[in-house]
Structure 1
Amino acid sequence: MPKTHNVERVETDSIAAASASRNAHRQRRPRSPVRSSRTHLHQILTHFSFLISGCDKAQEEFEDLCFQFGIELDDVTTEKAIIRKEKHLEEEEPSEDEEVIYKIEVPANRYDLLCLEGLSQSLRIFAGLDSIPTYTVANISKESMLKMHVKPETSQIRPYVVCAVLRGVTFDEARYNSFIDLQDRLHQNICRRRTLVAIGTHDLDTIEGPFTYEALAPKDINFTPLKQKEEAGRDRQVRGEGWPRDGERTVVVVLVAGGGDDHQVCGYIKHLTPTMHLISLSSRDLLPTRNFSADELMEFYKKDLKLKKFLHIIEGSPVYPVIYDRKRTVLSLPPIINGAHSAITLKTKNVFIECTATDLTKANIVLNTMVTMFSMYCERKFEVEPVEVTYTDGRSYVSPDLSLYQMEVPISYITKLIGVSLPAHESARLLNKMQLHAKHSISEKNEASFTISVPPTRSDILHPCDVAEDVAIAYGYNEIPKITFPSVKPQLLNKFSDLIREEIATVGYTEVLTWILCSSKEISTMLNREEDKNAVINGNPRSADFEVVRTTLMPGILKTVGHNKDHPKPIKIFEVGDVVLLDEKKDVGASNLRKLAALHCGSTSGFELIHGLVDRIMEVLGTPFVSPGDKTGYYIESSNEPEYLKGRQAHIIFKGAKIGTFGIVHPQVLHNFDIPDPCSFVEIDIEKFL
C-alpha cells in the first residue's frame, strides 16, 4: 500500500488537552481507514500534491506556504513514532504503509483552522487556487422554519441556545471523523471545556420539530444516552453463573475494569445456556439498553474518564438543561451527553445542530464555525437552514447569522502600522487572500479608507489592528524592511537597581529571583507578625502559595535558603525587587516599592557581615555615617521587630527617615522556614536614595 498522509492541527493553548480528546475519540469509535483518509485529503487538497506523493521538495513548499500564511508545520511524524517518543524508546524508520501525520500549529483564536476543511480552504484561498466562498442562509419563511422554544427555567443554568440545520450532507468516514473532532476542539478551546458552550449534533430525520429547551429536576429526565448505547454494542464478557433475574428476562451484568463488584447493568440477554459459566455477548445478543434518569446518569459517568470532568458544570444545580423534540424524545442533556436516539451516522443526510450556552456571543461563533466548515458537503453548497429560537417573554431570534460584518479602516492606519506604503489595490488584494473583502472608500473624515467585509468564519477580526496584521501576513513579514529604533534610556530607578546589583555581587553575594506572590501566612505568622493590613489580596489564587502580593522580600529569601539548606555554607544571597502595598492615592489602589534584601547563612549568624554590607552600600552611595539626629547622612538605632532576635537588630535611618532594618533572624522564624542554621538579614527601601 502506498504511503498516505493525514493533516492534524494542534491548538497553541491546549496541545495536551486536544491530544487527550483525540485519543478518547479513537477509543470510542473506529479510526478512519488509511485509504479513506487519503481520498478525503485528495478531494480537499488536490493542488497540494505532496500529501499524496510524499515528495520532500513539495513538502518544503508546503512548509513555506504555511509559514507565509502565519501558521507553522510543527512536525511530520507517525502514530508509532509519537508512542515511541512518549515511552522514551529509540526511533525507527517509518514503514511504507504507515500513515504520516502533519502537525500544524495555528493561532488559538482562528477557530476556522481547527479542522482540515477550514485549514485547507484557507490555504487554497491564500494560494489563489479558490475564491472566497459566500455563505448563505436558506431563504425560507418563518412559518416554515424549525422552531426551538426556550422555557424560562433555563435561565437558572444555561439561558441561551442557538441552532441550525445542514441539509443534504454527504458524509464519508473521514468527513464524519473531522466533524466530531471539530466539536472536541471547539469544546477545548472557545467553549472552555463546555462551561461556556456545549455543542449537540443530531440526525434530523430521526426527530421531529418543534423542539423545546427546558430545565427540569434530574429525576424527571429519562433517556438512553449516546455513549451507553455504544458501550452496549461492544463485545463483553459476563458472568454466566448466578444470573440475577428481572421478571421474565435475565439481567446481563457487565464486568468493567477492576472486576469484583464494580459492575453495571448493560442490557438483557435473549436466551441463556444454563451450563455456561462464562460467555461473550455482542450487540445482537442484547435488547436495547435501559433508560437512565439524569441523576443516575451523573453518578454513572463519575467513572467515565472523558465525561466525568464535565459533570461539575451542572451537578450542583436543582435543575438540569434538556432538549426535547415534539414527541418528547430527549436530544441531549447539555453539556454532558447526547441522546442515543438522534445520533448521527455515516448515513445521516440532515444534521440538526444546537449550541446551549452561558455566553450568547460565543455560542454564535461556535455555531457559525460548525456550519461554515461543513456546509461545503451540503447538497446546496455553503447554504445553511436557519432555526427560529423563541422565548416565553416574547423575545426571538433566527440563527445562524452569516451576514458580513462591516468595518472601516483608514489606509494610512494600515501602512503606518506595518511600516510599508502599499497602493490601495495591492492592500485590497492581500486582504482578499486572507478572506477579507476590501472596498475602497472615503471616510467621514475625508481620508482614504477600506470598508472591510468580515465573513462569519473570521470571528478573530475585532479591531482595525487585526486587519493590518492580515495585510502584513499576506505581504510577508520577511519582506517588511527592518527599522532600527533609537536607543531608549532606562528609567532612573532601574538603572540605579542595576548598579546596586553589580556592587553587591562584587562583594560575593549571589542574586536570586523569587515569586512576587506568596501565602498570607508567609508575611504574617511565619515572620512572627500579625496579619498585614497593607497586603494586596489575590481574588482568585491558583493555590494557597499565591494568596497575596508580597509586602517584604524576606519570605522569598528564607524559602530559597530552606530549599537549599544542604548547600555548602556560608550561603550569601540577595534580591532587588518590588513589593506591593495598598495605596488609596493611586488610581489602581496600590503602589510598588523597590527594595533590596540580602541574607547571610552559616555556622555563625554573620551579623557583622550584614552590618558591613550596609556600610558598604552607604559608602558607594556617598552617604556618610552620622550621629543620631543628624539628617545629612545615615545612622542606626535599636529596633524591636518580631522577625529578628531581640537585642540583635537595628533600624537604618537615612536623612531622618527609616529606610530599612537588619539583624539576626529570630530562631522561630528560621524554624518556620525549615532553616537549621543561624542567619542575618537586611532589607532596605532603595527608592529613598533617589
Structure 2
Amino acid sequence: MPTINVSIKDLNMLSAKEFTYEELESEAILLVKGEIEGVDGDDIIVDVKDSNRPDLWSTEGIARVLKSHYTDEKGIKEYKVEESDIYLHVDRTVDDVRPFIVAAVIEDVEITEDLLIQLIQIQEKVCLSFGRKRKRVALGIYDFDKIKSPLTYKAVKPESVKFIPLEYKVEMTLKEILETHPKGIEYKDLLKDFDKYPIVVDSKNNILSMPPIINSQYSGKVSEKTKNLFLEVTGTDLEDTKVALNILVAAIADRSGKIKSVTLDYGEEKLVTPDFTPKKMKVKFDDIENITGIKLTLKEMKDLLEGFCYNVKRAKDSLEVEYPSYRQDILHPIDVIEDILISYGYNKIEPHLPEIATVGDLDPLEVFCEDVRNLLPGFGAQEILNFTMTNIEHQFTKMNLEERDVIEIANPVSSKWSCIRSWIIPSLMEFFETNVSQEYPQQIYELGDVLILDESAETGCHTVKRLAWALADKESNFTKAKQVFDFVMKSIGLEYEIIEEDHPSFIRGRCARVKVGDRKVAYIGEIHPQVLENFNLGFPVCAFELNISEIFKLKK
C-alpha cells in the first residue's frame, strides 16, 4: 500500500482546519483509510490502506477529503477550466507503442517547496502503483514558458533524434538513453521491443520528453521560479490517462493557478482535456440500510456523502449521486455505500448479536459438486484445475466459434489473461496442447466455474458450475464419451434424452445435445479436426460439458 509523506502544517493549510497530531491519528486520517506509520517533527508518514484511490496519494488529496468532511465546503470541488488555443497533435506512429496522451496547462502557479515535494511524490506513487511502473500510465511536468504550441506526440527511430535528458549536460540519442541512462535502464522493457520510441516535441522541434522514460533538461526542469506548467500523461489506456491527469491538475490547482485546456487531435477524433465533469450513479435506500445495518434519514445520508466529496439529490427510491472525475474506484453502488460508512465512522457502529442463531454448513451445491467429482477417477480420469481467466483466442477462435460477448478485463497485464471463460472444454484442449509430448491416452476432467453475462443480475453476470470431460486417444469417439456421460447421469439419478444438434467445435453428425425434461444441459461429441489442428493435437479427442448448476436444480 502507498505510504505518503505529509507535512501537518501544509495539510492544515490546505484543509482550512487546524488538526493536532492526536486528532489526525485518532480520527481524521481514518477517513482516507490511512494509518500514521511514523513522525518526524512536523512530518508524518501516512500508510494509505487503499491501492484503488490514487487521488489520496498526496497531501492535497488527503486535505481535499478532510476539508469536505470538517468544513462548510461540502460536495465536489469545482475546477474551472478555461478554453485555450493550445494544441497537441497525436501522430498515429505511436499507436503500437504508447497510443494515448492527455494534457493540461496551469498558469500563475505559486511553486513552493511543499508543492515541489508533492509533485515528485504524486509522480512516483501514481506511476508506480496506479501506472504499473509506468507501463499503464506515466506523468510529465514541464516549464510551459519554454514550450511553443502546437505540440506533437509521435514515435521516431531510436537513433534519429538527440536531446539532453533531465539533470544531464550532454545530448543522447533515444537508443543511448535506453541503454545508458539510469531511468532508461530501469524502464527499458517498456520500449525495447519496438522499432520506434515516442517523443513529445513543440512547434520549434524542441524535444520535451521521451515518454515514459525521461523529460528533457530544456523544458522538464521545474523550480520555485517556474510560473506556468505544462502537464502530460501518456499511457496504454485512455481513461486511465484522464484519471491520472485530473489527479495531478487538481492537486496543483488546490494550491494556486489557473487551469487551461489542451486540444488533442487524434485524427478522426478531437479531445479536450482536462475534463472534470462529475460521474453519476444511483444508490437505492434499501441497499444502504440492508448493507450498513444502520437506519439513516435522507438528510443524514446526504450529509455523510456531501462530507465525502459527493453531490447528492433524491431520485424516488434512491439517491442520485455525483462523484469526482478522478474517482476511478467507484464501479458499483456498494462503493458509494462504503463511503457512507467511512464518513459515518466505523468506530461509531455499535455491535449487535444476531437475532437468529445459525450453524454453519457447506453449501449444498458444493456438496453435490464434490460427489460428482468423485465419480470420474474410477474411469481413470485425472482431475485438473485451470484458471477461470483465459483469452478470446482459446475460448472462440481456436474452437471454431464466432466471437461473442464475454466478461473481458479492461487492462489485462497479459493478452493470455484477457477474459473470463464462458465454457470449460477450451481449457481442457489447452491442457492437452501443453502436454502433447506426454504418454497417451490422456483422460482429464474439471468441475469448475464459468461466468455468463446476465443484465438482470446485480453484478451483470452469474456464476455457473460446469463439468467438462475429455479423452485424447487414437480410439477416442462419441461412444466412449457417451459411456462416461451415461455413468455420471445414472449416478446422479436423472434420466436424459440425446437430440441431434451440431456445434462448430465438434464434428458434424458426431455431436449431440442433452436434455433433461425441457432443459438443455450438455453437449457431447467428437472434437472437430480443425480444432485439433488449432491446438496442435495429433490424436482424436471426444468430450462433453455438463451444466452442473442446472442439474443440481433439477435434482432437487
TM-score (norm 1): 0.52
Question: What is aligned with 2:324?
Answer: 455
Question: What is aligned with 1:127?
Answer: 70
The answer on whether the counterparts of 1:437 and 1:454 sit within 8 Å (CA) in structure 2 is yes
Alignment of 1:178-257 (within 5 A): 178-228=118-168
The answer on whether the counterparts of 1:204 and 1:350 sit within 8 Å (CA) in structure 2 is yes
Alignment of 1:136-535 (within 5 A): 136-140=79-83, 144-228=84-168, 289-301=169-181, 304=182, 307-342=184-219, 343-380=221-258, 384-392=259-267, 394-442=268-316, 448-481=317-350, 482-484=352-354, 486-491=357-362, 535=384
The answer on whether the counterparts of 1:149 and 1:389 sit within 8 Å (CA) in structure 2 is yes
The answer on whether the counterparts of 2:163 and 2:171 sit within 8 Å (CA) in structure 1 is yes
CA distance in structure 2 between the aligned counterparts of 1:209 and 1:441, rounded to whole angstroms: 45
1:143-176 superposed Cα distances (whole Å, 9 cap, x missing partner): x421110111111111111111111111111211
Q: Per the alignment, in what secondary structure is the counterpart of residue 220 of structure 1?
A: coil
CA distance in structure 2 between the aligned counterparts of 1:39 and 1:585, rounded to whole angstroms: 55
Classify 1:435/1:308 alpha carbon distance in 2 versus 1 (closer, same or farther; 3 Å).
Answer: same
CA distance in structure 2 between the aligned counterparts of 1:316 and 1:585, rounded to whole angstroms: 37
The answer on whether the counterparts of 1:66 and 1:73 sit within 8 Å (CA) in structure 2 is no
Classify 1:167/1:308 alpha carbon distance in 2 versus 1 (closer, same or farther; 3 Å).
Answer: same
Question: What is aligned with 1:561?
Answer: none
* 1:125 partner amino acid: S
The answer on whether the counterparts of 1:583 and 1:589 sit within 8 Å (CA) in structure 2 is no
CA distance in structure 2 between the aligned counterparts of 1:312 and 1:463, rounded to whole angstroms: 35
* 1:395 partner amino acid: E
TM superposition shift of 1:212: 0.3
1:210-250 superposed Cα distances (whole Å, 9 cap, x missing partner): 0001011101121111132xxxxxxxxxxxxxxxxxxxxxx
CA distance in structure 1 between the aligned counterparts of 2:51 and 2:449, rounded to whole angstroms: 35
CA distance in structure 2 between the aligned counterparts of 1:44 and 1:471, rounded to whole angstroms: 23
CA distance in structure 1 between the aligned counterparts of 2:141 and 2:16, rounded to whole angstroms: 29
The answer on whether the counterparts of 1:298 and 1:311 sit within 8 Å (CA) in structure 2 is yes
* 1:195 partner amino acid: K
Q: Taking every aligned residue pair, what percent have the same amino acid on both sides? A: 26
Question: What is aligned with 1:616?
Answer: none
Question: What is aligned with 2:539?
Answer: none
CA distance in structure 2 between the aligned counterparts of 1:436 and 1:328, rounded to whole angstroms: 43
The answer on whether the counterparts of 2:245 and 2:274 sit within 8 Å (CA) in structure 1 is yes
Classify 1:354/1:67 alpha carbon distance in 2 versus 1 (closer, same or farther; 3 Å).
Answer: closer
The answer on whether the counterparts of 1:161 and 1:360 sit within 8 Å (CA) in structure 2 is yes
CA distance in structure 1 between the aligned counterparts of 2:11 and 2:282, rounded to whole angstroms: 37
CA distance in structure 1 between the aligned counterparts of 2:333 and 2:54, rounded to whole angstroms: 19
1:161-212 superposed Cα distances (whole Å, 9 cap, x missing partner): 1111111111111211111110110001111100011111111001101000
* 2:228 partner amino acid: N
* 2:70 partner amino acid: A
1:308-329 superposed Cα distances (whole Å, 9 cap, x missing partner): 2311000111010111000111
The answer on whether the counterparts of 1:68 and 1:474 sit within 8 Å (CA) in structure 2 is no
Q: Which has the larger radius of gyration?
A: 1
Q: Per the alignment, in what secondary structure is the counterpart of residue 156 of structure 1?
A: coil
Pairing 1:65–2:24 present: no
Question: What is aligned with 1:75?
Answer: 37
* 1:117 partner amino acid: E
Classify 1:218/1:67 alpha carbon distance in 2 versus 1 (closer, same or farther; 3 Å).
Answer: closer
Q: Per the alignment, in what secondary structure is the counterpart of residue 157 of structure 1?
A: coil
1:642-677 superposed Cα distances (whole Å, 9 cap, x missing partner): xxxxxxxxxxxxxxxxxxxxxxxxxxxxxxxxxxxx
TM superposition shift of 1:116: 0.6
The answer on whether the counterparts of 1:150 and 1:390 sit within 8 Å (CA) in structure 2 is yes
CA distance in structure 1 between the aligned counterparts of 2:157 and 2:261, rounded to whole angstroms: 30
Question: What is aligned with 1:82?
Answer: none
TM superposition shift of 1:591: 6.0
TM superposition shift of 1:488: 3.9
TM superposition shift of 1:424: 0.6
CA distance in structure 2 between the aligned counterparts of 1:486 and 1:70, rounded to whole angstroms: 35
Question: What is aligned with 1:582?
Answer: 445
* 2:54 partner amino acid: Y
Q: Per the alignment, in what secondary structure is the counterpart of residue 95 of structure 2?
A: helix
The answer on whether the counterparts of 2:16 and 2:71 sit within 8 Å (CA) in structure 1 is no
Unaligned runs of 5+ in 2: 368-380, 391-413, 418-426, 432-442, 451-463, 470-556
* 1:74 partner amino acid: I
* 2:253 partner amino acid: S
TM superposition shift of 1:377: 2.5
The answer on whether the counterparts of 2:262 and 2:274 sit within 8 Å (CA) in structure 1 is yes
TM superposition shift of 1:40: 3.6
TM superposition shift of 1:586: 7.2
Classify 1:61/1:581 alpha carbon distance in 2 versus 1 (closer, same or farther; 3 Å).
Answer: farther
Classify 1:439/1:537 alpha carbon distance in 2 versus 1 (closer, same or farther; 3 Å).
Answer: closer
Question: What is aligned with 2:476?
Answer: none
The answer on whether the counterparts of 1:166 and 1:350 sit within 8 Å (CA) in structure 2 is yes
